[in-house]
């Protein structure tokens, strides 16, 4: 069997790895072993934070809603309870957008829920 020289293959993988860590600091962007490690950690964080992002946005919507409801004489929990009893189809995301962008419309919604 013929001898296989693997220089081009290993250079190609090294080049691709270092391309993926472009912009990282210190040895992570220059050294192959540290770059592999950085890629692995970055992948783990990306996987976890894709799920965490959903929680972060839900928290933001709740805070926005509560801030918009307080001047109207509601608390967040009583408003959500009243909405559920009323059978409204609006979710927290849509309600927070309305409260943020169109306060007059949001005021009408809260009056309808009262």
* Percentage with pLDDT > 90 across the chain: 87
pLDDT at 89 over 90: no
pLDDT per residue as tens digits for the range 45-88: 999 999 999 999 999 999 999 999 999 999 999 999 999 999 98
Supply the DSSP string of 20-86, one letter for each residue: HTTT--GGGGT-HHHHHHHHHHHHHHHHHHHHHHHHHHHHHHHHHHHHHHGGGT--HHHHHHHHHHH
The tokens describing 2, both together, are 């013929």
- Domains of the chain (ranges; CATH) run 7-113 (1.10.1900.20)
pTM of the model: 0.70
């Amino acid at each position: 069997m013929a001898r296989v020289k693997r220089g081009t293959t290993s250079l190609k993988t090294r080049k691709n790895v270092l391309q993926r860590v472009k912009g990282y600091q210190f040895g992570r962007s220059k050294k192959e072993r540290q770059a592999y490690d950085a890629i692995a950690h970055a992948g783990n964080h990306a996987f976890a934070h894709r799920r965490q992002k959903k929680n972060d946005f839900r928290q933001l919507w709740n805070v926005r809603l509560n801030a918009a409801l307080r001047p109207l004489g509601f608390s967040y929990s009583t408003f959500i309870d009243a909405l559920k009893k009323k059978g409204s189809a609006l979710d927290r995301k849509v309600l927070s957008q309305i409260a943020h962008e169109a306060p007059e419309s949001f005021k009408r919604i809260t009056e309808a829920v009262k």
